């Protein structure tokens, strides 16, 4: 969803020399394959929109994969980008990197000031390590690398599988199927009291293009509605 959104935004801005790899074409968990690809392609910039993602159920079933796969993906890309002197890197994370009880609205400086939400801590820890890796490269090597933390996303290319989707596509599917089957009720998880922020993927993509075209001063920026 995010990768195709960024592709659309770049094409709209007139960019033509775009390179994209699906997970079927390139296993980003394979360090040698990632390095060889980047050495061959020699890109000016990398947008890391790849991740193993899912909702509460998927995080609870696959905690090992959620932390290990995501760390391998981002570490292989960031390490190779640095070693091959690729000028720009956009690392995309998630708002779940922030503490469960962070003040609202969440600010970048709230990172690592409290305990994480238990239901997605595995994914969050992987993404926090990526944020810190980007920060370390900026501070030690003056790299023009940036971390963008989007809020809950939705839009074209979303995943509607009820076992591993996020909250909004899951709700859309449940409402759609309830209407199709003429059900009078729809069962949703939770108490209904927490507030959630949602952002269309094309709006995130515009923020990614903005970050690519600017020399930003900081290493971490929230992207929300």
Residues recognised as catalytic:
123
Q: Which residues pair with 148 in a beta bridge?
A: 92, 221
The phi, psi pair for 37, rounded to 5°, reads -65, -50
Q: Which ranges constitute the DSSP H helices of 13-166? A: 31-41, 56-61, 63-83, 121-141
The phi, psi pair for 92, rounded to 5°, reads -100, 130
120 Cβ contact list (under 8 Å, min separation 6): 56, 59, 66, 96
CB 142 within 8 A of CB 154: no
């Amino acid at each position: 969803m995010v990768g195709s959104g960024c592709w659309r935004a770049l094409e709209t801005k007139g960019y033509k020399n775009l390179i994209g790899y699906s997970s079927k074409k390139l296993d980003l968990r394979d360090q040698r394959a990632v390095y060889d690809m980047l050495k061959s392609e020699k890109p000016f910039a990398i947008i890391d929109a790849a991740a193993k993602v899912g909702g509460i159920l998927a995080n609870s079933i696959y905690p090992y994969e959620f932390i290990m796969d995501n760390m391998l993906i981002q570490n292989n890309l960031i390490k190779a980008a640095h070693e091959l002197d690729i000028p720009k890197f956009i690392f995309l994370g998630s708002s779940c990197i922030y503490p469960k009880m962070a003040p609202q609205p969440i600010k970048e400086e709230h990172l690592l000031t409290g305990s994480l939400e238990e239901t997605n801590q595995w994914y969050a820890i992987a993404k926090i390590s990526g944020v810190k890796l980007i920060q370390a490269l900026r501070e030690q090597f003056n790299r023009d690398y940036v971390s963008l933390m989007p809020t809950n996303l939705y839009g074209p290319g979303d995943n509607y599988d009820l076992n591993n989707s996020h909250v909004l596509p899951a709700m859309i599917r449940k409402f759609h199927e309830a209407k199709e089957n003429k059900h009078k009720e729809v069962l949703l998880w939770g108490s209904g009291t927490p507030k959630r922020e949602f952002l269309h993927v094309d709006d995130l993509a515009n923020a990614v293009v903005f970050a690519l075209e600017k020399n930003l001063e900081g290493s971490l920026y929230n992207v929300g509605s």
